[in-house]
Structures are given as C-alpha cells and as structure tokens.
Amino acid sequence: MDTPGAPRHEQISDWLRARIEQGQYEPNDKLPSENELCEQFDVSRITVRRALQTLETEGHIYRRQGLGSFVQDARLHQGLAYLTDFVQDMEQRGIAPSCTVVHRAPEAASPDVAAFLGVEPGTTVVRIDRVRQANNEPVAFDQTWLPLTYAELLADYPLTEQTIFQVLEQAYDIPVVKGECRIGATQADGDVAAHLHLAPGAALLLMERVSFAEDQSCIFYQTRYYRADRMSFNLHLARDARTPAGGDGALPVREFESVLRGSAE
C-alpha cells in the first residue's frame, strides 16, 4: 500500500491513482474488476466501491454498468467553435493559464506570412513567440505575426497575462470578430522541442490561425504547436431535425474542442 495507516478505501484509491498518473494505466484502459481488487487488498466490495467512487469524483476514472471501471482521459477543454483565446478557454474551465514570451522583434515578412497578413513580402512585421502553460506545465508554443499597425498598439503590453484579444478589445475597443483555423500534424524542431520539453522530432499538432477585425483587416497570423501527447480534438455534431432521413444535409457543429490530457510527466 502507498499510504499505510490510512483508511483502506483511501489506500486503494491512492494505489490506483498513482498508477494512472504514472501511465501504467492509459486513458480508456479497463481497471481491475471489483472482485479482483477485493481479492488483491483483502477488503469488502463496499470498500472497493468507495475507493472507485473517489476516483470517479476526482475525474480519474469513469464507470460503465456491467462493464467495469475505465481510466478517464483527463481533460481541459479549449473551445474552438467560438472565437476565444487560450487564456479565456483555460480560465473558463478552472485551469490556471500562464504565458512566457521568448521572442518579440520586427522581421521581414516571408511570402507565406505576407499572404496571410495581406502585405507585400519583405514588409516589416512583428513576430511574437510564446510558450503557453496550463497549471504551470508547457502545452503549446505559438508564433504570431502582426502588421505594424496592430503591433504598435501592443508595444506597451508584455502579453504575459493579457492576451492580444484582451488588449485590443479592452484598451482600444477593437473587437476580434472573425477567424479561421487549420489543423494538421508536424514534428518538433530543436527550438520548439526545447520549449515544450520534448525530444526533437516528437509529434505535434499544428494549428494555423488568422484573426480579423471589423474592417476585415488581418490582425495576426499565428502558428501554434500543441504537444500531441497532451492534446487531441473532439468535434461534436448535431443533425438538424429538419434534414430528411438519408439526405446529404450538413451536420452543424455544436462543439469543437481541443482536449488537453492530464499532467505531463
């Protein structure tokens, strides 16, 4: 037992919790049955069920009637169906977000960046690189390119606590009204890997984002790299009741969320 002297149900929940957090049980793995746990720890079924209830309440496991207990894919949700930023998404879910700015300087726009921002290649823009943390653990690294018009508005703001969205909307009454994003896969190069505490070549989820103001001007183009061992995406669809059965009507997106797994090792 991991906690001698504690009540038996706490010892069982501590034992299971430790093995889940250490990765011995992966998300959606089935845990030992109630009978197996009773035999292993020489306790009653009531004691085992109390231990499992504790883990379920904590969000470590979920239970299916007649099937058993399974490891929950511990989740912090970042909404994508609405135009929000990382800090807003985390705060809405009780997660402590933080940000470290590791680069902030003007540079000449590459042809790709220029195309997104609507400027000529070689135009001076500002690039801001930030490491995004959830509960003090690095989960994403983003590079953001801004036209000088918007970069100058942000010049006096460190962007470690306030986001670009917040500064523009609160300080300048410039709402970010529209955005586009594309999600793909890539591998971590040396710099990105170091920022995310990964080995070079590790798998990453890549999100490219473009955001626009009311006048349709592009505020920024951003590439964000998520740790693929920590993040996945769920797309929730709902069929419109007016769509004929068997028809080809589109399914409206009700929720599109990124899913951040439990604590990094």
Reply yes or no on whether the pLDDT at 105 is more than 60. yes
Enter the DSSP assignment of 6: S
Give the pLDDT confidence score for residue 262 in this predicted structure: 56
Token code pair at residue 144: 């953001």
Give the pLDDT confidence score for residue 158 in this predicted structure: 94
Q: Which amino acid would we find at residue 231?
A: M
Portion of the chain with pLDDT greater than 70, in percent = 77
Give the pLDDT confidence score for residue 102 in this predicted structure: 97
Band (pLDDT 50/70/90 cuts) for residue 248 is very low
Reply yes or no on whether the pLDDT at 246 is more than 60. no
Reply yes or no on whether the pLDDT at 90 is more than 80. no
Reply yes or no on whether the pLDDT at 265 is more than 70. no
**CA 57 distance to own-chain centroid:** 22
Reply yes or no on whether the pLDDT at 84 is more than 70. no
Distance from the first to the final alpha carbon of the chain: 22
Give the pLDDT confidence score for residue 21 in this predicted structure: 85
**Mean of pLDDT over the chain:** 82
- Per-residue pLDDT tens digits for 39-75: 999 999 999 999 998 888 777 888 877 788 988 765 4
Reply yes or no on whether the pLDDT at 103 is more than 60. yes
C-alpha torsion angle, residues 216, 220, 221, 226 (rounded to 10): -130
Fold held by 8-71: Arc Repressor Mutant, subunit A (1.10.10)
Give the pLDDT confidence score for residue 58 in this predicted structure: 74
Band (pLDDT 50/70/90 cuts) for residue 249 is very low
3-class secondary-structure state, position 27:
coil
Best mean pLDDT range from 85-99, 130-144, 226-240, 250-264: 130-144
In CATH terms, the superfamily for domain 76-260 is Chorismate lyase-like (3.40.1410.10)
Domain with CATH 1.10.10.10 in the chain: 8-71
Domain with CATH 3.40.1410.10 in the chain: 76-260
- Per-residue pLDDT tens digits for 141-198: 999 999 999 999 999 999 998 889 889 989 999 988 888 888 889 999 999 999 999 9
pTM, two decimal places: 0.62
